[in-house]
Structures are given as structure tokens and as C-alpha cells.
Structure 1
Amino acid sequence: MTDTSQAPQMPRLNEPAPAFDAPTTDGRKTLADYKGKWLVLFSHPADFTPVCTTEFIGFAKRQDDFAAMNTALLGLSIDSVHSHIAWMLNIKQNFGVEIGFPIIADLNMKVAQSYGMIQPGASDTAAVRATFIIDPEGVLRAMVYYPMNAGRSVDEIYRLLVALQTADANKCAMPENWKPGDQVIVPPPATPEAAEARAGEGYNTVDWYFSTRAL
């Protein structure tokens, strides 16, 4: 029998994101503080590490783009507030980039464990590169995990955020690598009668189940 007692707890898509109340570099933050905004919560293994530094620089450079989409950024690692502050100052001094978003100091690993950021196969004491997109109602809409030795793409996380928001606003789905200006996928018909009628509905229809339209 497989022992699951040490398996990481995993949040689930389209369910409420795990609540948190944690110290950060900008005072205590709770999930409720972000109600009404989208939130990108992302973890990194440790401060003062090279891959994590590139990721934080990447997020900082796109912070205004995320803000324009009503989206806040919130980092996390299992380091102290003082370590986070020192690292932020180091990045500013050495790379000329100011980290303008808070970082959770998750020394007790409570937030990391509730979000499944601790992966025993990678490390028992460091959070892997996990990214969570949470909507304004506190519902978890997307999550992406990266290994310790490969940095994530901030551009892809931003693209995914825009795709989610656009899909919500237009009741549609997004094709592979969708970007603003591309056509979107029309939900397929749910009955044989609707499938037969699809070709005459004015969409770009390849077959009854595959139709696209411009926004």
C-alpha cells in the first residue's frame, strides 16, 4: 500500500483558493485582502539564488502590465522577512530593478503546504516554482509547476492571465498560444440539432465541433 501521509496537499482548480494570513515585506497579507482583484501568487525555492533572481526581475519588469489587468503579484519562499528585504535590496543594487510587490515569509511552511508548493521529490524544506492565478472571487483558476532548475516564463503567465480574463468576458475558449487579436473558439453545440445548425451560424466553422470567431 502506498503511504500518502507525506503527500503534499494540492489545491484544486475552480474551487476556493486556500486562505492565508502571513507576514510579508509589506506587512501581513491575507487572501481576503485581494478580493476584487486577480492575484498571481508564485513561490521560489530560496532568496539569493540565481534562477529565482531572474524570475523576480522578470515579474518586476512586467508588474505594470499585470496591474493594468487588475492583477496583483505576491511572491513566497520559506525565508524570513529580513532575508527577503536584503535580497530585494541586492537585486536593486546589482541589477537596477526594484521589486515592487510583497513577498510572503513562510518560515512555518503553512502557506506552501496548503498550496502544494512542497514537493518531497524535489525538497522537503524549499518551495518549488509554483504559480497560481486566483480570480477576484478567490477562486483558483490556474496553477503551473516548474522544477527547481528551470525558470518559469513570466510572459506565458501574463498570456494565460489575459486569456482567462478574455474567456470569462466573452464566454469562449482559447486555442493554443492565443494572444489578443487572435480568433477564439466558440463552445461546441450540445445537441444533434444544434450541431446541424452550426454551419449556418456565421462562425468560421471547420466542422460542427470546431468553430472560431473574432472578438
Structure 2
Amino acid sequence: MGINLGDAFPNFKAQTTAGEMQFYDFVGDSWAILFSHPADYTPVCTTELGRVVQLVPEFKKRGVKLAALSCDDVESHKGWAEDIKSYVKNEEGFPYPIIADPSRELAVQLGMVDPDEKDAAGLPLTCRAVFIIGPDKKLKLSMLYPATTGRNFNEILRVLDSLQLTATKKVATPVDWKQGDEAMVVPSVKPEDCATLFPKGVRVQAVPSGKQYLRFTTDY
């Protein structure tokens, strides 16, 4: 099982460190990121959730709500959250909910099970999944990492900037793009419409074929 890009994200109900969650109510009209980790009280996961704690202001700037998930129960999450706060020297309340999924129901439904990682009872654990969900409740991006590889949440912020930009503008973002760099005019925009859509200008990169498809702009 799993979920594909463009699919409606399931409106699940779950217990979390912040109480019961109905996912669509939690998301509201915002963007959202749901990210899973293999297990509480583990080293790489602690660094990852700690990094997200540090980056909460950046996600808030972008109007994004955050939720983590693993197969541990709520009480385990709450205890571990204190370790995470200590690791990143954050004395305030834990800034986002951690979802409990001890039955693995959500992990299976969303395709987040890591076949190579099991708990002491031999049950599979969740992989390091990232799902970015738009205000329309549809899946905009998914990433799956194995347990041995920690994620780069600065990259997740970068792709979020790209998703939010390209959701409203007729541009795409090239390799290694970051906010402020040139974006690319999408092929569906006709040359005669560029001046209207991008009044600050479009730069066309010449290529041997003579085709004018490499069109760049900072007008976004």
C-alpha cells in the first residue's frame, strides 16, 4: 500500500502527544508535513526531531504545520520529547505533535514500513518518510529514507519553497534552486505571453538546437 503524488491524503484519526488528532482538522487551510521515524529513544531520530524543533520558526513563516509519527505509544513519545528538548537546549514546550501508531495501521496505509528494521518483538518499524500535504489535502511530495540515513531538513525547507512557489506561478525550479535564484518559465507558457506574466523580464539561454526552451526569470 501507499499513496501517490496528487492523491488525497487520508483523513485519519490518531492519538498524539497533543491529544487526539483528526488530520484534516489539524491541517485546516495550511500546508502540512508528516514525517515518520523508526523508534523513540534512538540516536539518529533524536537528532532529526531536534533539528525540526530548531526549524519550527522557519516552517511557521511558510504557514506549515508539522507532525511526527512512529510505532511507539504516546507515553513513550512524551518521555522521549524531554530528551529531544534537552539535546537541542530547548526549555519550552515541545512545539509539534508526535503521533502514536503502535498498531502499524497508519504505517501500512501510507507505505512507511521499513522491511529491514524490526523492534524487539520482531515487528516492522517505520522508515524515515516525509510527506508534504497541500491546503487541498493532496500529497505534493514524498521522500523515503532508510533508518541508517538521517534527513536534511534544510532540503525539505528548500523543496517546500519550490512547491509553494510553483503552486501559484507558471514557473518550475531548476537544479539546486533556492529562494531568490532564477526560476524557469514552464513550457506551456507561450512566448507572446511572457511579457504579461513576467513583466520584469525573461532571460532565454541560447542552445545549439536553436529552441528557446531554457527561459529563466526572477519575476516571482
> Is the shorter-chain TM-score for this pair beyond 0.5, marking a shared fold?
yes
Equivalent runs, 1:139-178 vs 2, <5 Å: 139-178=138-177
Q: What is the TM-score normalised by the length of structure 1? A: 0.87
Whether 1:133 aligns to 2:132 is yes
Cα 1:47/1:171, change in 2 over 3 Å: same
Cα 1:67/1:200, change in 2 over 3 Å: closer
Q: What is the TM-score normalised by the length of structure 2? A: 0.85
Cα 1:200/1:69, change in 2 over 3 Å: closer
Equivalent runs, 1:104-119 vs 2, <5 Å: 104-119=99-114
Whether 1:31 aligns to 2:30 is no
Equivalent runs, 1:1-215 vs 2, <5 Å: 9-33=1-25, 34-97=27-90, 99-123=94-118, 124-189=123-188, 194=190, 203-206=202-205, 207-215=211-219
The one-letter amino acid of 2:111's match is: G
**Identity percentage over the alignment?**
35
Aligned residues: 203
SS of the equivalent of 1:62 reads helix
Q: CA deviation at 1:180?
A: 1.1
Q: CA deviation at 1:198?
A: 8.9
Q: RMSD of the TM alignment (CA)?
A: 2.1
Q: CA deviation at 1:121?
A: 4.2
Cα 1:22/1:204, change in 2 over 3 Å: same
Q: Which ranges in structure 1 are unaligned for 5 or more consecutive residues?
A: 1-8
1:104-147 deviation per Cα after TM superposition (whole angstroms, max 9, x unaligned): 00011111111100132444520000000000110000001111
CA distance in structure 2 between the aligned counterparts of 1:90 and 1:104, rounded to whole angstroms: 17
Contact 2:185/2:216 (<8 A) preserved: yes
Cα 1:86/1:172, change in 2 over 3 Å: same
Specify the alignment match of 1:6 in structure 2. none
Q: CA deviation at 1:45?
A: 0.2
Q: Which ranges in structure 2 are unaligned for 5 or more consecutive residues?
A: 206-210
Contact 2:130/2:143 (<8 A) preserved: yes
1:21-69 deviation per Cα after TM superposition (whole angstroms, max 9, x unaligned): 1000001112211120111100000000000000011100001110111
CA distance in structure 1 between the aligned counterparts of 2:30 and 2:194, rounded to whole angstroms: 39
CA distance in structure 1 between the aligned counterparts of 2:112 and 2:128, rounded to whole angstroms: 8
The one-letter amino acid of 1:179's match is: K
Cα 1:199/1:19, change in 2 over 3 Å: closer
Contact 2:114/2:146 (<8 A) preserved: no
